[in-house]
């Protein structure tokens, strides 16, 4: 079943990764079994650090999606009727099994996605486990959560996730759906299917009834088939705004419920009374965490004019210390860009910025000779109208603008088609309250950035999508 392959080479290169189990070829996980894709087509999942093949993954077509949805619909009859406490036990079991395999999951996540092992180990995997623990706890408390309301599960949830937080997004989607008595068909992103497939093995080992969770791998057309399937009652999607809009068109006029978690262009705002060194760390974390492949990345920095020179100087200095390199190296701060396509997208934005003539800065760290890498990048004094300040780049590229007054920065920060997150750095609580009420963003962090917890809801306004995931709100999205 499990075969040794080249992943061992990388694994052996770091101490904490001495044991990983990956199959050479993965089938689809449907109705509690591993099955071949009906087209018999497979595609390669590779390591963005060196472009080496890791494992073959099945390409599911419309027939396979149909099989998975039918299995989920059949399992729903059982799953929605068993006691809530029993449902909770299965979800707890999944969480514990994930925890036991956390080290292996972290290495596979880092190999397949390009994210630094330190982030996978300390953030992604523990948070993914915590989502299952958190929602396991809610399973038998729905009557407390929604007192005096008759709430029922929706049925089969079709869930489509992106490549930036592969296992964590799978957890965000699957855990609340199961807790509320729905069954699931999940489609991972094509460049990062492996941890979702490991999760399928864990789900299998948990003994949960067959068909409650099905995992189908493939490209955009696999996702589209899932969205269009008449027996799917709910779509949960995280990804690009363009695909989010396509999904909305497909489900218009149907009874399908949807939550769409789309792109962002979030403002990180530094006032002159902020603790500067802490704020600089917050800027770094806001934009360079996970190579900037973060929907809520603090990609637009607003610095109060009188401290701009100082903040930018300190920021450049700190950026020079960031190590870009092999994601499996524990000292790596910025790993590999997830795919060749994404690196091209980022490079195109950098070229536009250079052409536009805003001040440009990149660190001069050494880059690995192969693989998809991008140096941490700044553009200073970017015009509000610039594409760089308007569009999601989804890479380690920060634009900097300055402001004088509170009203001016609120106006500038809200001048965006997106509204996912924001950060505010100041010593004054009153300023924080003023901004949190006026910024059009689903999440506003004060004197911190990119802090996540299963108990707090997450989601956006405007083109960043709608619906909330996480916390109590995340349960509501799976009930009628
Ligand atoms: P994408 O939106 O195409 O992919 C996300 C998921 O949707 C993948 O699983 C994909 O297979 C699936 N998908 C693609 N087309 C579909 C369709 N027609 N129907 C149903 N599912 C479909 O994103 P992509 O192409 O990987 O990245 C392009 C850009 O999107 C990035 O440069 C970034 O700006 C943005 N993006 C934003 C994310 C976020 O979390 N805000 C996540 C991923 C991408
Ligand atoms: Mg990959």
pLDDT digits (tens, 9 = 90+) for 168-217: 999 999 999 999 999 999 999 999 999 999 999 999 999 999 999 999 99
* 46 in the same domain as 19: yes
Q: Is the pLDDT of residue 149 over 90?
A: no
pLDDT band at 99 (very low <50, low <70, confident <90, very high): very high
Q: Judge whether 58 lies within some domain.
A: yes
CB atoms within 10 A of CB 322: 17
Q: What's the pLDDT score for residue 143? A: 87
Q: How far is the CA of 470 from the centre of ligand 2 (A)?
A: 26
* 307 in the same domain as 417: yes
Distance CA 312, CA 310 (A): 6
pLDDT band at 8 (very low <50, low <70, confident <90, very high): very low
Region 228-239: mean pLDDT is 98
Q: How far is the CA of 160 from the centre of ligand 1 (A)?
A: 9
Share of the chain above pLDDT 70, in %: 96
Which atom of ligand 1 is closest in space to residue 243's alpha carbon?
Answer: 2
Q: How many domains, the chain? A: 2
Q: Judge whether 5 lies within some domain.
A: no
Q: Judge whether 229 lies within some domain.
A: yes
Q: Is the pLDDT of residue 26 over 80?
A: yes
- Residue 365 known to be catalytic: no
Query: In this structure, what token pair is assigned to residue 75?
Result: 């399992």
Residue 459 CB–ligand 1 contact under 6 Å: no
Nearest to 153 by CA among 76, 51, 55: 76
pLDDT band at 145 (very low <50, low <70, confident <90, very high): confident
Q: What's the pLDDT score for residue 310? A: 98
Mutate to test the pocket of ligand 1, among 239, 262, 348, 390 (most ligand atoms within 8 A of CB): 239
Q: Checking phi first, is residue 421 left (phi over 0); if not, alpha (psi -120 to 50) or beta?
A: beta
* 182 in the same domain as 64: yes
Residue 349 CB–ligand 1 contact under 6 Å: no
Which atom of ligand 1 is closest in space to residue 420's alpha carbon?
Answer: 41
- Residue 469 known to be catalytic: no
Nearest to 174 by CA among 383, 381, 469: 469
* 397 in the same domain as 273: yes
Q: What is the mean pLDDT of the chain?
A: 95
Which atom of ligand 1 is closest in space to residue 227's alpha carbon?
Answer: 20
Give me the domain span that covers residue 334: 267-453
CB–CB of 297/287 below 8 Å?
yes
pLDDT digits (tens, 9 = 90+) for 307-345: 999 999 999 999 999 999 999 999 999 999 999 999 999
Q: Which ligand is nearest to the CA of 338?
A: 2
CB–CB of 157/236 below 8 Å?
yes
Q: What's the pLDDT score for residue 148? A: 82
Q: How far is the CA of 263 from the centre of ligand 1 (A)?
A: 9
**Strand ranges across the sheet with 183-187:** 33-35, 28-30, 213-215, 183-187, 156-160, 232-238, 257-261, 465-466
* 220 in the same domain as 294: no
* 309 in the same domain as 217: no
Q: Judge whether 6 lies within some domain.
A: no
* 249 in the same domain as 350: no
Query: In this structure, what token pair is assigned to residue 303?
Result: 């610095």
Q: What's the pLDDT score for residue 150? A: 85
Q: What's the pLDDT score for residue 16? A: 43
* 352 in the same domain as 204: no
pLDDT digits (tens, 9 = 90+) for 388-405: 999 999 999 999 999 999
Q: Which ligand is nearest to the CA of 191?
A: 2
* 26 in the same domain as 75: yes
* 364 in the same domain as 245: no
Distance CA 115, CA 285 (A): 14
Q: Judge whether 1 lies within some domain.
A: no
Q: Judge whether 420 lies within some domain.
A: yes
Q: How far is the CA of 140 from the centre of ligand 2 (A)?
A: 37
* 470 in the same domain as 445: no
| Residue of minimum CA distance from atom 11 in ligand 1 | 220
pLDDT band at 4 (very low <50, low <70, confident <90, very high): very low
């Amino acid at each position: 079943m499990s075969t040794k392959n080249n992943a061992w080479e990388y694994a052996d290169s770091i101490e904490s990764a001495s044991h990983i189990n990956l199959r050479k070829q993965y089938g689809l996980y449907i109705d509690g079994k591993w099955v071949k894709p009906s087209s018999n087509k497979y595609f390669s999942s590779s390591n963005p650090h060196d472009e080496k093949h890791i494992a073959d993954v099945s390409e599911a077509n419309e027939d396979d999606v149909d099989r998975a949805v039918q299995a989920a619909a059949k399992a729903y009859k059982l799953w929605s009727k068993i006691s809530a406490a029993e449902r909770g036990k299965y979800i707890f079991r999944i969480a514990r099994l994930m925890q036991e395999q956390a080290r292996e999951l972290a290495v596979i996540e880092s190999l397949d996605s390009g994210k630094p092992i330190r982030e996978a180990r300390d953030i992604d995997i523990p948070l993914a486990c915590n989502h299952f623990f958190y929602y396991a706890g809610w399973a038998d408390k729905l009557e407390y959560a929604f007192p005096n309301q008759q709430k029922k599960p929706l049925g089969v949830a079709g869930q489509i996730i992106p490549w930036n937080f592969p296992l964590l997004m799978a957890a965000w989607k699957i855990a609340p759906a199961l807790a509320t008595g729905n069954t699931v068909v999940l489609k991972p992103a094509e460049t990062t299917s492996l941890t979702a497939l490991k999760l399928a093995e864990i789900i299998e080992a948990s003994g949960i009834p067959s068909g409650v969770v099905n995992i189908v791998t493939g490209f955009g057309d696999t996702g589209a088939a899932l969205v269009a399937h008449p027996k799917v009652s709910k779509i949960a999607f995280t990804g690009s705004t363009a695909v989010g809009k396509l999904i909305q068109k497909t489900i218009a006029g149907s009874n399908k419920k949807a939550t769409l978690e789309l792109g962002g262009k979030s403002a990180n705002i530094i006032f002159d009374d902020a603790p500067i060194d802490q704020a600089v760390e917050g800027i770094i974390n806001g934009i360079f965490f996970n190579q900037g492949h973060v929907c809520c990345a603090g990609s637009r920095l607003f610095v109060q004019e009188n401290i701009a020179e100082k903040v930018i100087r300190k920021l450049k200095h700190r950026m020079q210390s960031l190590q870009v390199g092999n994601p499996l190296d524990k000292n790596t701060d910025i790993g590999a860009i997830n795919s060749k396509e994404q690196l091209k997208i980022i490079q195109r934005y950098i070229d536009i910025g250079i052409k536009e003539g805003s001040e440009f800065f990149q660190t001069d760290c050494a880059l690995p000779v192969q693989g998809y890498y991008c140096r941490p990048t700044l553009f200073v004094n970017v015009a509000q109208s610039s594409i760089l300040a308007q569009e999601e780049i989804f890479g380690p590229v920060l634009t900097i603008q300055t402001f004088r007054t509170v009203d001016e920065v609120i106006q500038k920060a809200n001048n965006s088609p997106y509204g996912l997150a924001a950060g505010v750095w100041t010593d004054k609580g009153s300023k924080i309250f003023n901004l949190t009420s006026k910024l059009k963003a689903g999440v506003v962090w004060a004197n911190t950035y990119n802090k996540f917890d299963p108990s707090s809801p997450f989601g956006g306004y405007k083109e960043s999508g709608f619906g909330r995931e996480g916390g109590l709100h995340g349960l509501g999205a799976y009930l009628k």
